[in-house]
Amino acid sequence: MTDPVFKSVSFIGLGAMGAPMCANLSLKSPVPVMAYDLKSAAVEAAVTKGAHAVQSIEQATEADLVFICVPGEQEMLSVCLGEEGIVNSVREGQVIVDCTTTTVSASRAVASALKAKGASFADAPVARGVPNAIAGTLSVTVGGDEEIFSRIEPWLRHMATDVAYCGPVGTGTVMKLMNNMVLFENVSALAEAMAVATRAGVDRERVFELLGQGSADSFALRRHGTFMTSGEYPTDQFPISYSVKDLDYALALAQDVGVETEGARLTRDRFQRIVDQGMGHLYSPVVYELFNNS
């Protein structure tokens, strides 16, 4: 059951992930959901899904519970701590939930600034991608006070099927970065396997079908492998340029804690080569083109 103290909810950031998340929240929320994005067309689309349009971050911050989902650290810091950011209009007792994939340091900086105003913050980045955002079957890892988690969990379940408490502020982001690091390394490994198998005589259409019958089966194989098989890479999924960003966040975190992550560094370099070739707007399985064109 959702927290009766929250009389209104807002959602800031209506991109590839945020738009379907806001749509599911609007459909299932027992109270009004206000929607804001820099792009008016995105706000208009959210209204067709049941949200109420607002014209600024300040208006969105009038809600008791505020969700954020923007591209990365820079955008998240701007929304929260910028000249027109949430921190300037937040009030005591509000709860801010950031679903962005950002850095641990950014999450902790925002939490500290909001706490000084009497508001609470939780980092709650989401995983599984656009199809699951549309279906409302995302996975969420949450960092923050456990009491705040208990209050926001039912609201997150309007958008996700798996919601896990990880610990203090920042730990939800830690686990999301590790999720993405492992995923992208898996995608890179799949590209290698496809290249070796096809050059060794296995039909391209069967490589991942056969791998999926053994212990190499994975989420990445079943979702990302489809696009390597077809050679058609979507433009409406998580672009590989964003994957580079997330790998940079993960590598910086690893350096902070003194872990050498050679596999992640290799994957990051491969993804960057794809970006440098002008394909940064395509979904990460496009990394296979490094092998396909060599």
Three-class DSSP category at 279: helix
Catalytic entry in 39, 49, 176, 245: 176
Burial class (CB in 10 A: 0-12, 13-18, 19+), 88: middle
For residue 63, give the nearest of 8, 2, 3 by alpha carbon.
Answer: 8
Contact 22, 3 (CB under 8 A): no
Please give the Cα distance from 102 to 245 (Å, whole number): 9
Whether the Cβ atoms of residue 75 and residue 31 lie closer than 8 Å to each other: no
**Of 171, 118, 117, residue with least CA distance to 143:** 171
- CB 123, CB 144: distance < 8 Å: yes
Q: CA 242, CA 254: separation in Å to the nearest integer?
A: 18
Distance CA 25, CA 35 (A): 11
| DSSP element (H, E) containing 53 | strand 52-53
Could you tell me if 126 and 138 are in contact, meaning their C-beta atoms sit under 8 angstroms apart?
yes
| Interatomic CA distance for residues 105 and 23, integer angstroms | 30
What is the rounded distance in angstroms from the CA atom of residue 132 to the CA atom of residue 130? 5
Integer CA distances (angstroms), 78 to 38, 82, 140, in order: 12, 4, 23
* 176 in active site: yes
Residues involved in catalysis: 176
